[in-house]
Amino acid sequence: MEPSQLNWRIARSIIGHRWISATILLAITLFFAAGLRNVQLQTIFSDLLPSDHPFVQTYKAHPNFGNPLTVTIMVQRKDGDIYNAETLAKVWDLTRDIDLAPAVDHDQVLSIATEKARYAVAVPGGIDVRPLMENHPPRTAAEIADFRERVKKSPNARRFLIADDQSATLINATFIEHNLDYGETFRYLQQLVEKARDAKHEVFMAGQPALTGWVYHYEWEMLGIFGVTAAAMILALILYMRNVTGVVAPVLASVVSAIWGFGFVGWLGVPVEPLVMVVPMLLVARSFSHCVQATERYYEVFAHISDRRKAAEISMAVMMAPGVLGIFTDVAGLMLVAVAPIPAMQRFALFTGFWAMMLVPTSVLLTPLALLWLPRPKNVKSIVGADAEEGTGHRAIKHLLDRIARLTFGRRARATTAVLLVAVALGGWEFSKLTIGNPVEGTPLLHPDSEFNRAVAAINRHFPGVNTLEVVFEAKSEDRLDRVVRHADTIMTMQRFQHIMEDNPNPPAATLSFADYLGEANRLFSGGNPKWAPLDRDDAAVSAAAGALMVGTSPKAFLHVTDFEQRNGTVSLWYKDNRQETVDEALRQARAAVAEVGAEHPDFRIRLAGGTIALQQSMNDTVDQYHYIILGLLNLVILLGCGLAYRSLMAGIILLIPVNLSNLFLLAVMTALGIGLDVNTLLIMAIGIGVGIDYGIYLLSRICEEYQDYGEEGAAILASVTTTGKAIFFTAMINLIGILPWYVMSELKFLSDMGLMLVMVMLINMVLALIALPLCVWWIKPHFVRSKDLLVGEGVDLSQFVFHQPAVADEARDVEGLLADSRRKGVAGAKS
């Protein structure tokens, strides 16, 4: 009588109504395929920030502070200063060409060559304000000397546009967000920069739009990596399976699951984050490995019973529970990433979690259906391991696994356990030194020696730089015409805050606020004497200075310090680097200064903070806060899931030990390499546990199964490691093939780092699954291993299905005999 459990009933139903099943799967695939046209690959940088963090909320409320839409180009003279006709002409030409850039805001192009870079002199009855450059760049010695004199009369140009050593100058251009196509603008600017470089000049480009452009530029290369990865995985499949069916079935299932995954987000209109594209590739690899195991099991059954339909039904039924459990843990790992309040990661969790979930119908259900219709391969015996002529590679793997297995039980288990415990102790000690965050000069998205990060470093060396902390002065009233930044209390508080910050033992490299411009305006319009720079402490005086400053000027000229309506302002604090000590000290000082001047005022409040310093800290705080939460939740979910599947909490504990040790070792290695915990690690931890635990599930299920044959843990471990270990080995390899190219080939450090860490965690997981899990079984000798009624057990008595056809019976008996013989030989050694 055939089994009547749920998995068997489902399998019988699907195979029995295979045309209906296939039609339904096809219809669903077509539905999701229709959603593919809506798929957007898009990096939304602000969505990489934790949305619940107060710094991020401040940044999002005042996104213009800190110049997120500004590109900064530095022209550096290599053999002297910029005061020569050639360099000044280059700056002039570049400035004019930048004004032609797509989406540039023509009112916000600033360099020493624009009319907005002015010098002012007091003249009888008023002031004379002139541009630093006239209608052409200085050409003669006299014009250059005159230009140099004008620069001396322009403190803002000296401070923010020309380097202290006079060797470099900046061109700033701000772009209109709703018109901005980052790729197009970046390509235009990059060709300008490359054209402007010559033997005497170096030209650097930084700023958020340039960064976005670089990321988009490199994201195109992902298509190439995707192609290489897919080709490598298919090649691995071909080498492993050596038949058309064994290759076509996994590829078909993987393509269908990819269509479902991408189609799902397409229909939802949720953009896919390309920076974590390595994870979808991992899912393709997961799909391959699930399919390969299903395929192997199908041929194993087919070799016994020689009935394709029945073989499909049986293999589907027996693979369903372990397959679903493995996928469940993948889904849990991916979905729990959403606990961290980072919108890009939450979207990513939704996308990859759904995709992983869909591996159940596509891999577990579709693969047997496909195998049913695809031609029968000629090398079935070889696939199921019954071929006497086993390949050299297979023999070597088997031999290695045999050696490993023998370390985990019997007398050698003690030594192995001791070594493992020592390794854990060392790992724990190293782990205790783990730091939060990976500060780099520039962006962690790109490599330190990337053109962008070198540009940031160069600009930081010559100018106040790009590491800012923006302390926001925010209007309380809703009246759009109440220009709070022009109130005396606001300006005086800004000045006091700056004074306190600058008075610290380790002050910022520079500070800037709207108040600084008002002081200079007050001085000039009062006759030019420096004694008139301080403002009177009343609204009339401040308003007068603001009015004078803004005459003939667009508010856009001051968007870096106050918004268009001049209701909210910022005090920008520049720091020379973004090392964690600097960040900590900057925030400590800023908090103390805010406490001293008071955060709440009648017309405004002071909010911490925007700028790269604050945003870096927000990421670190989130990683620090959530990595244990995600880790804990994941352990809990998997413990409950596996406990249910094996009907034993002990099974969950045994499965969780190797994956948690893997994480410990990963973090220890990271610490040893000087890498801190960051947002990548959050993902890797979750995926490492969710995906890595599959190895343990395969092995533990097999141990339970083998225990029924041998009735003894050691023999069961040996039989399991040498058989399922091979599948684990293949699965790990196919995962590595899917991930490793991203580490080697990607110019995006974020992606590359993620690839490296995934490779590390998957390798560590594989090794620990083969060593730590059998050790646990050996030492604990859990009761559930002896259970004959496991949900996830893959065992089945095939005799009840065979020998309907006498002609094939002999062949089937041969195969079974060889399989049993092979296993007995190995286990006999173990018992001895």
Q: Which two tokens stand for residue 626?
A: 């959530």
- State which of residues 3, 102, 155, 507 lies at the interface with other proteins (CB under 8 A): 102
Shortest Cβ distance from residue 539 to other proteins (Å)?
9
Q: Which is nearer to other proteins, 25 or 545 (CB)?
A: 545
Distances (CA, A) of 681 to 590, 624, 665, 686, 758: 29, 11, 13, 8, 9
- Kindly tell me which of 131 and 155 has the beta carbon lying closer to other proteins: 131
By CB under 8 A, tell whether 525 contacts other proteins: yes
Q: According to the binding rule CB under 8 A, does residue 480 interact with other proteins?
A: yes
Query: Is residue 111 a contact residue for other proteins (CB under 8 A)?
Result: no
Position 526 contacts other proteins (CB under 8 A): yes
Q: How far is the CB of 110 from other proteins (least distance, A)?
A: 12
- Asked if residue 378 binds other proteins (CB under 8 A), the reply is no
Grouping H, G, I as helix, E, B as strand and the rest as coil, residue 519 is helix
C-beta of 128 vs 165, nearer to other proteins: 128
Q: Which of 125, 505, 602, 674 binds other proteins (CB under 8 A)?
A: 125
Q: Which is nearer to other proteins, 95 or 329 (CB)?
A: 95
What's the token pair of residue 430? 């190293």
Q: Are strands 468-475 and 604-610 parallel, antiparallel or unpaired?
A: antiparallel
Q: How far apart are CA 470 and CA 497, in angstroms?
A: 12
132 versus 677: smaller Cβ distance to other proteins: 132
Q: Which is nearer to other proteins, 116 or 462 (CB)?
A: 116
The answer to whether 610 and 580 have CB atoms below 8 angstroms apart is no
Q: Are 747 and 218 in contact (CB under 8 A)?
A: yes
Cβ within 8 Å of residue 317, ≥6 positions away:
3, 5, 7, 8, 10, 11, 12, 796
Residue 181 and residue 642: Cα distance in Å, rounded?
48
Q: What angle do CA 286, 288, 289 make, to 5 degrees?
A: 65
Shortest Å, Cβ 106 to other proteins: 4
- Calpha distance 771→755 (Å, rounded): 24
- Report, in Å, the least distance between residue 565 CB and other proteins: 5
Q: Any contact of residue 123 with other proteins (CB under 8 A)? A: yes
548 touches other proteins by CB under 8 A: yes
Beta strands in 143-224 (DSSP E): 168-175, 201-206
* DSSP state letters, 621-633: HHHHHHHHHHHHH
Minimum Å gap between C-beta 46 and other proteins is 18
Q: Least CB distance from residue 543 to other proteins, whole Å?
A: 5
C-beta of 151: minimal distance to other proteins in Å?
Answer: 17
Residue 546 binds other proteins, judged by CB under 8 A: yes
The only residue of 34, 129, 592, 828 in contact with other proteins, by rule CB under 8 A: 129
Q: Which of 47, 99, 181, 402 binds other proteins (CB under 8 A)?
A: 99
The least CB distance from residue 471 to other proteins, in Å, is 23
Query: Number of C-alpha atoms within 13 angstroms, CB side, residue 441?
Result: 17
CA distance 521 to 518: 5
Q: What are phi and psi of 483, to 5 degrees?
A: -85, 85
Q: Please report, to the nearest 10 degrees, the dihedral formed by the alpha carbons of residues 260, 266, 268, 271 taken in order.
A: 120
- Residue 388 within binding range of other proteins, rule CB under 8 A: no
Between helix 451-462 and helix 208-241 the angle, nearest 10°, is: 150
Enter the tokens of residue 48. Answer: 């990489």
Contact call for residue 537 and other proteins (CB under 8 A): no
How far apart are alpha carbons 382 and 242 in whole angstroms? 9
Which member of 20, 26, 100, 744 binds other proteins (CB under 8 A)? 100
Interface residue with other proteins among 143, 565, 585, 621 (CB under 8 A) is: 565
- Supply the minimum distance, in Å, between the C-beta of residue 62 and other proteins: 15
In angstroms, give the least distance from the CB of 217 to other proteins.
Answer: 22
* Near other proteins by CB under 8 A: residue from 2, 52, 86, 128: 128
Residue type, position 532, single letter: W
Q: Are 102 and 187 in contact (CB under 8 A)?
A: no
Per CB under 8 A, 486 contacts other proteins: yes
For residues 37-96, which are near other proteins according to CB under 8 A? Answer: 96
Q: Answer yes or no: are the C-beta atoms of 769 and 735 closer than 8 Å.
A: no
State the binding string over 156-185 for other proteins (x if CB under 8 A, else -). Answer: --------------------x-xx------
**CA–CA gap between residue 578 and residue 438 (Å, rounded):** 10
Angle at 798 between CA 719 and CA 731, to 5 degrees: 45
Cβ 97 to other proteins, closest distance in Å?
A: 9
Out of 89, 93, 130, 153, the only residue in the binding site for other proteins (CB under 8 A) is 130
Q: Could you tell me which of 633, 631, 653, 632 has the C-alpha nearest to residue 643?
A: 653
Q: Which stretch binds other proteins (CB under 8 A): 35-43, 112-120, 194-202, 250-258?
A: 112-120
Task: State the minimum distance, in angstroms, from the CB of residue 56 to other proteins.
Answer: 22
531 binds other proteins (CB under 8 A): no
Structure tokens at 690: 């969710």
Does 805 help bind other proteins (rule: CB under 8 A)?
Answer: no
Least distance from other proteins to the Cβ atom of residue 664, Å: 51
Judge contact between 806 and 322, C-beta under 8 A: no
Residue selected from 550, 639, 657, 763 as contacting other proteins according to rule CB under 8 A: 550
DSSP 8-state symbol, 39: -
Which residues, 6 or more positions from 813, have their beta carbon under 8 angstroms from its beta carbon? none
Per rule CB under 8 A, is residue 114 in the interface with other proteins? yes
Which residues bind to other proteins, rule: CB under 8 A?
96, 99-102, 105-107, 109, 113-115, 123, 125-131, 135-136, 176, 178-179, 480-481, 483, 486, 525-526, 540, 543-548, 550-555, 564-566
